[in-house]
Amino acid sequence: MLHLIGIAAESFQSLGKNRVRTSLATLGIVIGIASVITMVAMGEGTKRRVEREIAALGDDWMFVFSWGMTRGGVRGGQGVSATLTTDDAEAVLAQCTYVRAATPSNMMRQQVSSQFTNYQSPVIGAYASFFDIRRWTALVGRTFTDEEDKSQAKVCCIGMTAARELFGSVNPVGETIRVNRVPFKIIGLLTPKGSSSEGRDYDDIIVFPFRVFQRKIAGLEKSATMLVAAKPGIPMSEVQAQVRRLLRERHRLAPDEPDDFRIRDQSEPAEVKAETSESFSQLLLVIASVSLVVGGVGIMNIMLVSVTERTREIGLRMAIGANALHILGQFLFEAILLCVAGGLTGLALGVGAAYALEQYKEWETVITPWSVSLAVAFSLLVGLFFGFYPAWRASRLDPIDALRFE
């Protein structure tokens, strides 16, 4: 124990003799550790944002929309003809054994008025199963029911953004809004879902029962889309194939005719986003690790210079009884001490940089315990790896040659 304390005291004394060189030696580690902490925090923040987006959208449902048929060699686009009907959605729910829920949907932008102001908001009509498919619950109040849809009750649920624009800080539940001069009672304030990575605000929405929406708001505009959710444990590819077979059968399409609808599986973009986020995090970690390795090389260079400058000192210590293990331990401890000091400083700077990015650049960052542990472990490993050769070289010096060194 006393031997270790002696090595530590000698190391502190030796490093303190040349503070400028010691500071420069630790600078590379400071930059490397700070980079690791900051970039890992950025990567984790990106992953957290993507996870929230996937949770907000859901990954077990698909969006089915009409697609124009080929006529005279020309294919129409979405909305050319409403090839999907409400009956299609009912048939999918009744006959597709892999389907948990299905709803027709119709979405448009409408001028909405409250007792306080007017606001143009996206409005959507759908069955009550829309909230199950989209995993949407009411933060205040409740969502509407199938019975309210069938009875064409003039009710709706409102997203947080639309509620803020129409009512400010007033609780919207129980209030009345007007769309096409028709009054609707708000029965639920939807739980916030945030925004997508493309900037789309999921909370800027008002949801109405499908039948009253078609009759009072959509008018002649038919619903040409539907949302379909899979039962738990069923692969989306199998659900998609089953729905496609039924719709082709219902639309009486010949085997050589193309689909008059399109299916967009939400699980595919969710997987792509998750993989992209993971790749981005790994890339940031690799870049930060390179800077840490460069800092370790700097430590090794400084320690090699230190060994050369202190050759006579090493020879003198060996002449008065210090063995090779003592010399190895001292120089190795000095390298580790430099890296740990740089690591702790870099840790503080990295946390500060992550906080600054979040506060002033609005880049979400997440400091995780594993990234802090990784930074500390890296600093120790860099000290051991890059400090061993200079320490070993110092311990292998011949005392006689060292004393003669000029």
Q: Are residues 73 and 219 in the same domain?
A: yes
Q: How confident is the model at residue 72 (pLDDT cuts 50, 70, 90)?
A: very low
Check pLDDT > 90 for residue 290. Answer: no
Which has more confidence, 342 or 179? 179
Q: How confident is the model at residue 80 (pLDDT cuts 50, 70, 90)?
A: very low
Q: For position 2, what pLDDT does the model report?
A: 41
Minimum mean pLDDT among 99-113, 186-200, 319-333, 343-357: which range?
319-333
Q: How many domains does the chain have?
A: 2
Q: Are residues 182 and 282 in the same domain?
A: no
Q: Are residues 319 and 206 in the same domain?
A: no
Question: pLDDT tens, 133-162?
Answer: 988 899 999 999 999 999 999 999 999 999
Q: For position 65, what pLDDT does the model report?
A: 87
Which has more confidence, 198 or 95? 95
Q: For position 265, what pLDDT does the model report?
A: 77
> Which residue, of 265, 285, 319, is where some domain finishes?
265
Q: Are residues 67 and 149 in the same domain?
A: yes
Minimum mean pLDDT among 246-260, 273-287, 335-349: which range?
273-287
Q: For position 304, what pLDDT does the model report?
A: 66
Minimum mean pLDDT among 252-256, 297-301, 303-307, 397-401: which range?
397-401
Of 235, 398, 245, the residue nearest 312 (C-alpha): 398
User: What is the full DSSP assignment across 258-311?
Assistant: PPSEEEEETHHHHHHHHHHHHHHHHHHHHHHHHHHHHHHHHHHHHHHHHHHHTH
Q: How confident is the model at residue 198 (pLDDT cuts 50, 70, 90)?
A: low
For the chain, the first-to-last Cα distance in angstroms comes to 35
Average pLDDT over residues 77-104: 81
Question: pLDDT tens, 33-58?
Answer: 787 788 788 877 777 776 666 655 66
> Which residue, of 247, 265, 283, is where some domain finishes?
265
Q: For position 396, what pLDDT does the model report?
A: 66
Q: Are residues 76 and 29 in the same domain?
A: no
Q: Are residues 278 and 240 in the same domain?
A: no
Q: Are residues 198 and 298 in the same domain?
A: no
Check pLDDT > 50 for residue 76. Answer: no
Q: Are residues 39 and 73 in the same domain?
A: no
Q: Are residues 383 and 238 in the same domain?
A: no
Average pLDDT over residues 22-35: 76
Q: Are residues 34 and 71 in the same domain?
A: no
301 alpha carbon, distance to own chain's centre: 39
Quick check: 288 and 58 in contact, CB under 8 A? no
How much is the mean pLDDT over the chain?
Answer: 78
Which has more confidence, 135 or 308? 135
Show contacts of 365-370: CB within 8 Å, 24+ apart. Answer: 365/38, 365/41, 365/42, 365/44, 365/45, 366/41, 366/44, 366/45, 366/47, 366/48, 367/37, 367/41, 367/44, 368/40, 368/41, 368/44
Enclosing domain of residue 245: 61-265
Q: Are residues 296 and 359 in the same domain?
A: yes
Check pLDDT > 50 for residue 70. Answer: no
Average pLDDT over residues 279-304: 68
Asked whether the CA dihedral 163, 166, 172, 175 is positive or negative, the reply is negative
Q: Are residues 229 and 86 in the same domain?
A: yes
Q: For position 37, what pLDDT does the model report?
A: 82
Check pLDDT > 60 for residue 401. Answer: no
Q: What pTM value is reported for the model?
A: 0.60
Which has more confidence, 23 or 131? 131
Check pLDDT > 70 for residue 27. Answer: yes
> Which residue, of 248, 265, 282, is where some domain finishes?
265
Q: How confident is the model at residue 233 (pLDDT cuts 50, 70, 90)?
A: confident
Question: pLDDT tens, 356-393?
Answer: 888 887 777 888 787 778 777 777 777 777 667 666 76
Average pLDDT over residues 310-332: 67
